[in-house]
Structure 1
Amino acid sequence: MANARYDEKQLKDLLLQMMETELGGEKIYLAALGCAVNKDLKSEWEEYLKETKSHQNVVRTTCERLGINADEASPSRDVVKHIGQALVKAMELAKMGGDAGAAQIVACECVVHAETKDHSNWELLGKIAEVASGETGTILKEAYSRVEKDEDHHLYHTQGWCRELSIQSLGMPAVLPPPEEVKQVETAIGASRAEQQREAML
């Protein structure tokens, strides 16, 4: 792995996508909070919103240290922005439907969409950090170590909320807060185990 290489142009593009993902994430969480009915979920998303703002600073600082303009436009960044705006629009549309419970589920689905991209971004940055050498390697490792655990938490916990609220809407017994929340899941394996144990928690 020590001799592994990466494309510096693509690293820059990834960081620009990450910047847009975190900026869009702030808008997505604000819209999602407007749809949240469950108090525990609302509290959870309020914390994620704070962390997302912190992640914006981490990405911007990382870009600055690498000599990249964090506000530079790129075609892939435009796509990320478009998707983020579409997710906000979807939540607004769901809220206009007048069914608060349904809007809350749509908000969960939108957050899962956004956090799947966000999680993938940081996972890819972590892969580059493993092979990057010198100052670049140090900078990327620092950024990854500050954010990676938050991203796992955001994705796996919201997936749990989305599943359980959807089950509840179908008139079946749900585990709320979800098992991922109760068991403080931070990994994909932990999330899988938590879901498998949900029946015992009903």
Structure 2
Amino acid sequence: MAKDRYDSQQLNDLVLQMMETELGGEQVYRTAIACAVNPDLKKEWEEYLEETLTHQNVVRSVCDALGLDPDTQVPSRLVVKHIGESLVKAMQMAQKAGDPAAAQLVACECVVHAETKDHANWELLGKVAEVATGDIGKALKAAHEAVEKDEDHHLYHTKGWCRELAIEALGMPAVLPPPEEVKNVETAIGASRAEQQRTAML
């Protein structure tokens, strides 16, 4: 039988990073929701928080399939934890400054940071899922299919919110909710098209 074409040690490391990313993501969203002023954005992030809690369980199921303890600490995971905690602190700092609109924008930027890592994690897991075989291959494919669309949505929609809120802060006309939201974008190509069409939506 041909050996699977990936490094199983690195896969374990990636999955433990994913566990920490989803745990940190929960804290990032809880803090971001407290910073949200726009009711549409707040509602969006509340949905993302619920999905993040589901994603935690999906990663736990991947840990089970790999025979991994989801609480195992590795150096790369500690880095992910540090970054997540830093994002939470950044939002709290912005809140304390007393400008709600500015704090909301910082929260948006922090969510984009968190979701960029999260999205990359799931993309990498998808690459391994393409080549993994047997029960592990099935578990990875099922996990990736369950979460991939949510991750695309979280990243591209929040990037749109971030851009439009920053444009609004600069005193220029903004499209709120952003085009990505209105057009229900789910891909990088869709996000690019939506951004190109924003001027027509002003």
Which residue matches 2:43? 43
Partners of 1:3 and 1:131 within 8 A in 2: no
Residue 34 of structure 1: SS of its match in structure 2?
A: helix
Which residue matches 1:82? 82
Which residue matches 1:25? 25
Task: Please give the root-mean-square deviation of Cα atoms over the aligned residues, in Å.
Answer: 1.0
User: TM-score scaled to structure 2, two decimals?
Assistant: 0.98
Query: Which aligned pairs between 1:176-191 and structure 2 lie closer than 5 A?
Result: 176-191=176-191
In structure 2, give the amino acid aligned to 1:139.
A
* Equivalent residues, number: 201
* Aligned residues with identical type, % of pairs: 73
Which residue matches 1:132? 132
CA distance in 2, matches of 1:66, 1:80: 21
Which residue matches 2:155? 155
**Structure 2 unaligned residues grouped into runs of 5+:** none
User: TM-score scaled to structure 1, two decimals?
Assistant: 0.98
Would you identify which runs of 4 or more consecutive aligned residues in structure 1 move more than 3 Å? none
In structure 2, give the amino acid aligned to 1:120.
A
CA distance in 2, matches of 1:4, 1:185: 34
Which residue matches 2:72? 72
Which residue matches 2:92? 92
CA distance in 1, matches of 2:135, 2:36: 43
Deviation string, structure 1 residues 65-108 (Cα, Å, up to 9, x no partner) = 22111110000000000000000000000000000000000000
CA distance in 1, matches of 2:100, 2:43: 17
Partners of 2:91 and 2:103 within 8 A in 1: yes
Which residue matches 2:102? 102
Distance 1:3 1:69, change over 3 A: closer
